[in-house]
């Protein structure tokens, strides 16, 4: 199937509904990490998604079943693995979290990121 220029999604021009949500209470470790997501694209097979995520200060347990590429647009977060090793990410950082990662995501300053997610089904 051939696509045309109309199939390209420019996040800056593409309007989507902002979804607000809270982390499940059993995962929260600190704060009230309210979050929002603007999903700009989901593939027809529903395995690939891209958009913008934003989270407030707090920390919660994570268990990635998907592969996720992230680019931090503002703020900062700390990602901590189960062994206690950590990585602090700030504006401009680009990274991939592989499927199978377990640990903690801690927002240090309200954080906004571009995400691109692939989850094999």
Q: For 22, which DSSP code?
A: E
pTM over 0.85: yes
Q: Which two tokens stand for residue 95?
A: 């990274």
Exposed/middle/buried for residue 57 (C-beta within 10 Å: 0-12, 13-18, 19+): middle
| Closest to 107 (Cα-Cα) out of 63, 57, 73 | 57
List the chain pLDDT tens, one digit each, 121 residues. 799 999 999 998 889 999 999 999 999 999 999 999 999 999 999 999 999 999 999 999 999 999 999 999 999 999 999 999 999 999 999 999 999 999 999 999 999 999 999 999 8
């Amino acid at each position: 199937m051939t696509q045309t220029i109309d199939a390209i999604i420019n996040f800056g021009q593409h309007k989507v509904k902002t979804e607000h949500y809270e982390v499940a209470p059993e995962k929260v470790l600190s704060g009230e990490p309210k979050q929002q997501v603007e999903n700009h694209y989901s593939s027809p097979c529903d395995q690939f998604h891209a958009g913008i995520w934003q989270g407030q200060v707090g920390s919660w347990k994570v268990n990635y079943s998907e592969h996720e590429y992230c680019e931090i647009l503002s703020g900062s977060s700390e990602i901590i693995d189960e062994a206690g090793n950590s990585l602090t990410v700030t504006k401009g950082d680009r990274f991939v979290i592989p499927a199978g990662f377990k640990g903690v995501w801690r927002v240090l300053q309200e954080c906004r990121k571009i995400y691109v997610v692939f989850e094999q089904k």
